[in-house]
């Protein structure tokens, strides 16, 4: 199994109304030239199933995810030199939770790229509805529809984690719910529950349409739909459904990466800017990359000390995920599942295992969960170096699983940001974040309003959207 073409992360995007009128110019090599500019530069829809598949295979659009949640989380810390050296103003403001983050720019890819994905999905879904029943029910058309529904659901889910209050917040607004391709009409913000209802409806329909396997790891399938549902249900605290879908994803196959096998052939200390986790990684279920932001590659940006200190002797993740930077005294992150400097944000077998284990701990299934926990964690050690753990209570197991999420999934898209939002609602796991820059302290309180990013001002001006408080 191989990946599709490498994702170009350097492409900058304009605001929503701009991306809605540009033509697709970066389709994969298999894409036909089916987009032409009309006098008003509106998008011309694809005409064939092959065109639609080519549109969905555009990894520059569909397999890219925002970075802003990573900057605002506690996975990475910068020293004063690193902070002052950030090239992007919005990065500095995301890092310190500044509400003025988008006031100096009209280019907010964390907002516009998900909406670009939604627009393209809506175009495809509309075109499919125009086809005859026989063509709509064909295997290729069903797979295309399922893929479009999957990508639309994922885009809305990401937007909700960044620009809306956590699920269940009374009276909270969602994000504009756009279900058609009319670029001249823009919806206002619905209740948060309406957004989630659409996400779950899209994924329920996708489950009935997607194939069991994909020829590219950038294409969703039945397994990854279960995986995304597991991720979403975990984020809203529905642990029963999260476990159900994580189990379904795991039952469909996939292998854990054995880090002792990755370690073989490596020579320590590793050279700078070497990324030891292979790109063609058997643990990956769906391949996504985070936007390429040059500030992410600063030598003065480190993995948080509490993560570094949590790795026990013999845990290979410390050697394979972290680079000890002697010049700065910190540890740079090198554990990308991309095989290079780009940060991975897709779905993996390991994430599904951790979701399942957390849900089992929360339902007090201690005897059932402990063997799974030990079998999973042993893959992060050399053979014979790991000693099985035992737990006196499900609460102890839950603490251990949540710690392993920190150790296993740092710098993984919006996972930590979402974990902070959901765990802050449990007093025993709530955490106050703080940064100190040039002697000045910045603080983010649990459940504070800055756990929601402001709607980009350009969208307020153009579309009259209600701003977050």
- Give tens-digit pLDDT for 36-49: 222 233 566 899 99
What pLDDT was estimated at residue 256?
98
Residue 32 has pLDDT above 60, yes or no: no
Quick: pLDDT tens for 390-431: 999 999 999 999 999 999 999 999 999 999 999 999 999 999
Evaluate whether residue 332 is within a structural domain. no
Asked, for residue 107, whether it belongs to a domain, the answer is yes
- Averaged pLDDT for residues 245-252: 99
CA angle 89, 92, 95 (to 5 degrees): 145
Cα 415 from Cα 29, distance rounded (Å): 32
> Any idea what DSSP says for residue 205?
H
Identify whether 268 is part of a domain. no
Which percentage of the chain shows pLDDT scores above 70?
91
- Mean pLDDT over all residues of the chain? 91
* Residue 295: inside a domain: no
Q: What is the pLDDT of residue 22?
A: 32
pLDDT of residue 44: 61
**In this predicted model, what pLDDT tens digit does every residue of 127-183 receive, in sequence order?**
999 999 988 889 999 999 999 999 999 999 999 999 999 999 999 999 999 999 998
Strand partners, 443: 434
Looking at residue 42, the DSSP 8-state letter turns out to be: P
Please state the pTM of the whole predicted model: 0.91
Residue 324 domain-assigned? Answer: no
In this predicted structure, the answer to whether residue 313 has a pLDDT above a threshold of 80 is yes
pLDDT at residue 310 greater than cutoff 80:
yes
> In Å, how far are 275, 304, 332, 333, 387 from 319, measured between CA atoms?
11, 15, 11, 10, 19
Question: How many domains does one find in the chain?
Answer: 1
- pLDDT band of residue 5 (cuts 50, 70, 90) is very low
* pLDDT value, residue 43: 64
**Residue 18 pLDDT > 80, yes or no?**
no
And the tokens for 455?
């709607």
Q: Which helix (H) or strand (E) holds 289?
A: strand 289-290
CATH number at residue 379: 1.25.40.390
Q: Is residue 436 situated within a structural domain?
A: yes
How much is the pLDDT for 186?
85
Task: Say how far residue 391 (Cα) sits from the centre of its chain.
Answer: 31
H/E run at residue 405: helix 394-408
287 in any annotated domain: no
**Average pLDDT of the segment spanning 99-116:** 95
Torsion angle defined by CA atoms of residues 266, 276, 321 and 83, in that order, rounded to the nearest 10 degrees: 120
CB atoms within 10 A of CB 30: 11
**Mean pLDDT, residues 1-18:** 34
Contacts (Cβ under 8 Å, ≥6 apart) of 8? 26, 60
Whether the per-residue pLDDT at 449 is higher than 80: the answer is yes
Residue 325: inside a domain, yes or no?
no
Domain region containing 423? 16-258+346-463
76 in helix, strand or coil?
A: strand
């Amino acid at each position: 199994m191989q990946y599709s073409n490498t994702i170009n992360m350097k492409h900058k995007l304009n605001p929503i109304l701009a991306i809605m009128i540009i033509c697709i110019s970066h389709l994969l090599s298999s894409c036909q030239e089916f987009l032409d500019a009309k006098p008003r530069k509106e998008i011309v829809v694809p005409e064939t199933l092959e065109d639609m598949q080519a549109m969905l295979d555009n990894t520059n659009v569909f397999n890219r995810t925002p970075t802003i949640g990573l900057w605002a989380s506690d996975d990475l810390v910068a020293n004063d030199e690193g902070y002052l050296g950030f090239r992007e103003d919005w990065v500095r403001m995301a890092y310190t939770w500044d509400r003025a983050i988008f006031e100096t720019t009209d280019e907010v890819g964390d907002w516009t790229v998900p909406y670009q994905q939604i627009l393209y999905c809506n175009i495809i879904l509309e075109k499919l509805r125009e086809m005859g029943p026989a063509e709509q029910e064909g295997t290729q058309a069903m797979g295309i529809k399922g893929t479009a529904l999957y990508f639309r659901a994922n885009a809305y889910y990401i937007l909700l984690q960044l620009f809306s209050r956590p699920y269940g917040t009374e009276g909270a607004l969602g994000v504009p719910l756009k279900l058609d391709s009319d670029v001249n009409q823009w919806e206002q913000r619905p209740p948060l529950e309406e957004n989630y209802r659409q996400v779950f409806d899209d994924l329920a329909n996708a489950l009935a349409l997607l194939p069991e396997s994909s020829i590219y790891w950038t294409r969703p399938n039945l397994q990854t739909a279960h995986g995304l549902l597991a991720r979403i249900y975990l984020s809203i605290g529905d642990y029963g459904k999260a476990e159900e879908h994580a189990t379904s994803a795991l039952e469909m196959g996939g292998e854990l990466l054995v880090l002792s096998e990755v370690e073989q052939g490596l020579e320590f200390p590793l050279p700078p800017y070497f990324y030891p986790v292979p790109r063609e990684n058997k643990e990956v279920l769906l391949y996504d990359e985070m936007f390429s932001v040059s500030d992410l590659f600063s030598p003065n940006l480190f993995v948080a000390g509490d993560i570094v200190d949590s790795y026990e002797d013999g845990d290979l993740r410390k050697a394979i995920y972290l680079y000890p930077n002697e010049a700065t005294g910190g540890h740079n992150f090198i554990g990308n599942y991309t095989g290079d400097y780009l940060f991975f944000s897709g779905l993996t077998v390991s994430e599904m295992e951790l979701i399942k284990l957390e849900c089992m701990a929360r339902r007090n299934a201690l005897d059932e969960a402990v063997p799974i926990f030990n079998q999973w964690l042993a893959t992060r050690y050399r053979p014979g170096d790991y000693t099985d753990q035992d737990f006196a209570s499900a609460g102890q197991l839950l603490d251990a699983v949540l710690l392993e999420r920190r150790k296993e999934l740092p710098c993984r898209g919006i996972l930590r940001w979402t974990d902070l939002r959901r765990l802050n609602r449990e007093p025993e796991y709530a955490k106050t974040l703080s940064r100190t820059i040039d002697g000045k302290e910045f603080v983010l309180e649990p459940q504070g309003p800055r756990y929601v990013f402001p709607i980009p001002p350009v969208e307020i001006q153009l579309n009259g959207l209600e701003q977050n408080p």
